A and B are shown apart, each in its own frame.
Chain A
Amino acid sequence: MGAETGAGRLWPLGALAVAFMALAPQVLQLFTIINLTTAIALALLGLSLGLIWGYGGILCFGQTVFFGLGAYAYAVAAQNFGDTSTAVLVAIAVGAAFAALLGYFMFFGRVSDVYLGAITLTVTLVFFSLIRRTSGPEYKIGDALLGGFNGTSAPPLTLPWDSAAILFPNQLFYVAMSALTLSYFGCVWLTRSRFGRVCAAVRENETRAELLGYDARLYKLGLFTIGGGLAGLAGVLMANGVGRVTPDLFGLPYAAQAIIWVIVGGRGTLIGPILGAFGIFYLNSWLGSQQLVNLNVVLGLVLIVFVLLLPQGLAPTAMDLAARAMRGRGRARRRRRPRRALAAEPAE
């Protein structure tokens, strides 16, 4: 857990992201670009869960609640104000504020583990059934009809200084990619800051962290709130990628998938959940285009196989292998004896 990549290894990643951002619209078709925007939104959702689960040990089954709330807040605010930049800020604020509220409710009640999972899952399902019920003209916030099962339309992003200049799909892709990249590096910075290190300490041993004088509840709450804000931002991107917000954003399938991305990509890394989200997204659309195997069969097997055989996930396993290969080259000859010595040590 907590694989820390040195600063030297971060800049190639940033360069890769920038190169991808510059090249993709030149090479790829428009349809693929629009799809990519959705995938990026999901990756950001994955990153938010990877942050709070991997670095705070908070197993949130309903990260989708902040995602959905962010998307709805964006759509409603944009329809009311006509200005989308304010709407983006509103969406992030709503995601973070609700996370703070729910987090206060849970962490200060010392709810943890499975119980925390149960509460968050329930909360997202509550929103799912409540929002599905809001069809009809009486359910509206300002000018925005909530639209029940069919959801409501999400106005596309505009330039901050000119609300008539609607962004084209290519420009939307630039925005989404920059948001993801900046969020990723923000999270890396956060996990290396003092705050992030204390969060990791709380994750490893809550009692010990408290005995050292840190209020575990506050640190968890802070991390959870940041995760909620990120998920809210992901909701904004999702609303823009799809063009509508629907109750499905709160539903079980997205909630389950977010968990799968983190498991597959790797708990305790930040790049893992992002790659996991992209991978599963394209696996999804590939499987959706053929009739041979049912999608759920594959997703289920992937989850089972990873939990049983690769509990660390892809990113840490790959890093392990790479590190071992590097080391192996240097001292291949001396390998055997130290290993046997290790095996002789008593197990803990």
Chain B
Amino acid sequence: MDLFLALALQIVYGVSNLALISLGLAIIFGMMRVINLAHGEFIMLGGYTVIVATSHGVNLWFAMLVLAPLVVGLVGVIVERVLIRHLYGRMIDTLLATWGLSLFLIGAVTTIFGPQTTTTISPPIGAVQIGGYGSSGYELFLILITLAAVAGVYAVLRLTKLGLVARATMQRPDMASALGVSTSQVYMLTFGFGSAVAGLAGGLLAPITGVVPTVGAIYIAKAFITVISGGAAILAGTLSASSLLGVVNGVISYATGPTLGEVALLLTAIVIIRIMPQGITGRFFRKSL
């Protein structure tokens, strides 16, 4: 029973981890039809923000929950103005340009901070006992914060005026613009919002994974495949895809080890895309957010 509970917790953590790293990418893809291949590097930048801030004596919680999203959100706004703005409607070109951006960011961060970081941050919450098994309290915290982030995104998109305007702009930019909405600003803010969520993920994961300039590569493949197999609906897509893939990954990892778990995750995603070329939400939960 204890084993089962510990395993279940591990799987739920895997699912929420997948959802956390994909959410920012899903917002940008779902709202703007832009695939940001520099997403992994945005997560990496979030991690570096936390490292730099804490080494200057900033409180860790403040750095993770406020500074990381703020800084990366700002980076996102700048990137949108300089790069993405010129490429709307050209999906493949945005993909390629953001891939270039990803290489550029890896190189730039390596130049500034060096290929390895010496500073590590330890998770601020200790272990929790479940029967005979120890579990990381910080992982429990991450599960909760992922839920909070999903709820937060839902609230912003559904309940605020900004969210309404943003969804209107994505559906009918011409009509929104005729009604006096500055679509260009909405695009900029949406991209910044998605980036901020990526920064939050990076900040939160920094104590667990450690931070090196190339850490983004670990995330991007998983996030990309989760978002694509989830389809266009931001929250329903991310949640359904990361649940499915996270469970597959967790079970296979438990049975055979982490590498095969990863492979099983990727293969499952390929099968999903083959069966449902528009992703899960292209077939189910169509009207959902």
Interface residues on B, range: 35 or more
Q: Would B100 and A114 count as touching, CB distance under 8 A?
A: no
Q: Which of B93, B103, B263, B270 contacts A300 (CB 8 A)?
A: B103
Which chain B residues (79-115) contact chain A, with CB distance < 8 Å? 83, 86-87, 91-93, 95-97, 99-108, 110-111
Cβ proximity bits A115-157 to B, threshold 8 Å, 1 near / 0 not: 1011101110110011011000000000000000000000000
Instruction: Say which one of A87-95, A201-209, A215-223, A301-309 lies at the interface with B.
Output: A301-309
Size category of the A interface is 35 or more
Min C-beta distance of A192 to chain B, whole Å = 26
Contact A129 B273 (CB under 8 A): no
Q: Are A300 and B104 in contact (CB under 8 A)?
A: yes
What chain B residues lie within 8 Å of A324 (beta carbons)?
none
Which chain B positions have C-beta within 8 A of A125?
Answer: 221, 266
* A112 to B274 alpha-carbon distance, docked (Å): 10
Q: Which residues of A contact B266 (CB under 8 A)?
A: 122-123, 125-126
Find out whether the CB atom of B270 lies under 8 angstroms from the CB atom of A294.
no
Q: Is the CB of A296 within 8 A of B110?
A: yes
Contact for B224 among A59, A118, A130, CB less than 8 A? A118
B277 within 8 A of A: yes
Chain A residues contacting B104 (CB-CB under 8 Å) are: 296-297, 300-301, 304
Q: Does B160 contact A (CB under 8 A)?
A: no
Contact across chains for B103 and A256 when beta carbons are under 8 A apart? yes
Q: For A52, list chain B residues within 8 Å (CB).
A: none
Decide if A123 touches B270 in the complex (CB within 8 Å). Answer: yes
Interface pick from A66-74, A103-111, A182-190: A103-111
Query: Are B110 and A308 touching (Cβ within 8 A)?
Result: no
State the Cβ distance, A75 to closest chain B Cβ, in Å.
22
* Residue B269, interface by CB 8 Å: yes
* Interface status of B267 (Cβ within 8 A of chain A): yes
Docked-complex contact A304 and B95, CB < 8 angstroms: no
Interface SS of chain B = helix
| 0 or 1 for each of A297-334: is its CB under 8 Å from B? (1 = yes) | 11111111001100100000000000000000000000
- Measured between alpha carbons, how far is A307 from B87 in the docked complex, in Å? 9
**Residue B259 is within 8 A (CB to CB) of chain A in the complex:** yes
Q: Is A263 an interface residue (CB 8 A)?
A: yes
Q: Indicate if the CB atoms of A113 and B267 lie closer than 8 Å.
A: no
CB of B197 closer than 8 Å to a CB of A: no
Interface residues of B in 119-144 (CB under 8 A from A): none
Q: Is the CB of A263 within 8 A of B108?
A: no
Chain A residues with CB under 8 Å of B86's CB are: 308
- Could you list which residues of chain A lie within 8 angstroms of chain B, going by C-beta atoms? 59, 105-106, 109-115, 117-119, 121-123, 125-126, 129-130, 132-133, 252, 256, 259, 263, 293-304, 307-308, 311
**Interface of B with A (CB < 8 Å)?**
35, 83, 86-87, 91-93, 95-97, 99-108, 110-111, 217, 221, 224-225, 228, 259-260, 262-263, 266-267, 269-270, 273-275, 277
Nearest 7 CB-CB pairs, A to B? A300-B104, A303-B100, A296-B107, A300-B103, A297-B107, A294-B107, A304-B100
Instruction: List 24 contacting pairs A-B, 8 Å CB cutoff, sorted by A.
Output: A59-B92, A113-B92, A114-B35, A115-B273, A117-B95, A119-B270, A119-B274, A121-B221, A125-B266, A126-B266, A130-B259, A132-B259, A259-B99, A294-B110, A296-B106, A296-B110, A297-B111, A298-B107, A300-B101, A301-B104, A304-B83, A304-B101, A307-B96, A308-B83
Given contacts A126-B263, A252-B217, 20 further A-B contacts (CB under 8 A): A59-B92, A109-B274, A118-B273, A119-B273, A121-B224, A122-B221, A122-B270, A123-B270, A125-B221, A125-B266, A129-B259, A129-B262, A259-B99, A294-B111, A297-B111, A299-B100, A300-B102, A304-B97, A304-B101, A307-B96
